[in-house]
Amino acid sequence: MADCFQGRNNSLGFIRLILASAVVVSHASVLGFGEKEFGHGFSHGQTDLGKLSVYGFFVLSGILVTRSGKRLPPGRFLWHRALRLLPGLWVCLALTAFVVAPFLYWAQNGDLGGFWGHSAGPFDYLGSNWAVAPLQNDVSGVIAHSRGDGLGHSPSIDAALWSLRYEVFCYFGVALLAVTGALTRARRVVLLVAVVLGCYAIAPALQERFWAGFADSSYALSFEIFPVMGKFDPDILIYLAFAFAVGAVIESYRERIPVSDPLGVLALAVFLGSVFYGYFFVVGIPAFAYLLLWLAIRLPGPFRRVGAKNDLSYGVYIYGFVVQQSLTALDFARWGFWPYLALSLAGSLLVAALSWHLVEKPAMRLKDIGRKRTAPTAPPSAQPAPPGETEAAAGDFGRDRALADSGSLTG
């Protein structure tokens, strides 16, 4: 892996975009038509397409965020993560509260009387949800109104944001490992964390082959770390952190991970077999992790250009649910599943492109603010490297750095 998975010479952007789009596809059946998400029946209730995509995002986050954590000081690392996550999220919340919700309210009632003064109005929505936790689901009752008319199947206007607090929790975990030096000097600690989380995740799945993971509430009550981030469900935390930790182990031992086509095909077979026949949480998540890595390396050239410069995956993820709920409230689902899905994907991609070019990409230009730039000087006795080798090495480092800064659930 150390030789093949570096810089931007991979299909990671394409895979992230596919995972984000798969969430939209999975939600289409439940948001538009009140049915189970895709894959629920195929997996015998273990998981579905949307959850699989989230697991995939967390595996990739584990790889790339760990790489960033090894390279950057903890403070700079958290600054980069905040820039990648928060500006896009805050603009999404503001547009949802002050553009989408008023339009839906007007479409439902013919005016905006009662919208701004509602007990759960737009300002309350923004104030409750800014800290990566959706503590208020609706805005001035527009989704409740939709459900009352028989047009809605979810109480939230943007429930896809639920996973962001768990992503942030993993960021703090990487920062803690970086502070203690475990990422660079004691990588066995990373392996130990993954093993401990794996034991908690796998133990119940060994007893029930169609174990549904965090779909079943079998652990203790939820807990708070920071009140503004809401409560963490231990079930969800264990399984998502396990997926993240698998990615972190892959990155930590990257020089020992073989890139093998037979292993890639075997990983695909094990992954699909575990989803259909059971024990997904025992063997499926590790197989899925290797499969994603293998695809990122082995997919041909055209796929590598997708997302290399413009990463829309985060925008699709955070806006997709809003787009679909808006289409549902406006009764576009009456046209049938495929037109509804096409409009959902097209709308999500359009808004994601605007988010990337107008918000996310400009925000990332601030990542080096406050950093002192000093030109490296070679020791007097050192012989200069040939110009070609120096430029190539600098190019690889630059691509590696950009990849580590951009890759996560948050794009």
Query: Does 374 have pLDDT greater than 70?
Result: no
Band the pLDDT of 343: cuts 50, 70, 90: very high
* Joined tokens for residue 96: 């949802």
What is the average pLDDT across 169-198?
Answer: 92
pLDDT attached to residue 372: 64
Task: Provide the pLDDT confidence category of residue 34 given band limits of 50, 70 and 90.
Answer: confident
Q: Enumerate the domain spans of the chain.
A: 12-368
What local confidence, expressed as pLDDT, does residue 381 receive?
Answer: 45
Torsion of CA 118, 123, 124, 127, to 10 degrees: 180
d(Cα 240, Cα 169) in Å, to the nearest integer? 10
CA atoms of 79 and 142, how far apart (whole Å)? 35
What is the rounded average pLDDT of the residues 257-283? 94
User: Count of residues for the chain?
Assistant: 411
Beta-carbon neighbour count of residue 342 at 10 Å?
12
| Of the candidate ranges 39-53, 154-168, 210-224, 236-250, the one whose mean pLDDT is the lowest | 210-224
- Which of 129-133, 334-338, 358-362 is predicted with the least confidence, judged by mean pLDDT? 129-133
Q: What is the per-residue pLDDT across 306-324, written as a single tens digit (0 to 9) for each? A: 877 889 999 999 999 999 9
At residue 298, φ and ψ (nearest 5 deg) are: -95, -20
Q: Which of 146-150, 295-299, 381-385 is the least confident region?
A: 381-385
Segment 284-300, tens digit of pLDDT: 999 999 999 999 999 98
Read off the pLDDT of each residue in 242-261 and give the average, rounded to a whole number: 93
The answer on pLDDT for 387 being more than 80 is no
Mean pLDDT of all residues in 121-147: 93
Rounded to an integer, the average pLDDT of 129-151 is 91
Residue 221: pLDDT band with limits 50, 70, 90: low
CA distance 137 to 211: 29
Q: How far is CA 359 from CA 57, 89, 91, 142, 307, in A?
A: 21, 10, 8, 26, 16
| Best-predicted range by mean pLDDT (65-79, 129-143, 312-326) | 312-326
At residue 408, the pLDDT reads 55
Looking at residue 373, what is its pLDDT?
A: 59
Phi–psi pair at 129, nearest 5 degrees: -115, 5
Give the CA distances from residue 80 to residues 74, 84, 102, 322, in Å, rounded to whole numbers and listed in that order.
10, 6, 33, 26
Residue 8 has pLDDT above 50, yes or no: yes
What are 81-119's pLDDT values in tens digits?
999 999 999 999 999 999 999 999 999 999 998 999 999
* Lowest pLDDT segment from 60-74, 218-232, 259-273, 345-359: 218-232
pLDDT score recorded for residue 183: 87
Q: Give me the pLDDT at residue 389, please.
A: 37
For the whole model, what pTM was predicted? 0.87
Lowest mean pLDDT among 35-39, 187-191, 271-275, 380-384: 380-384
Choice among 217-226, 306-315, 380-389 with the minimum mean pLDDT: 380-389
Higher pLDDT, 154 or 307: 154
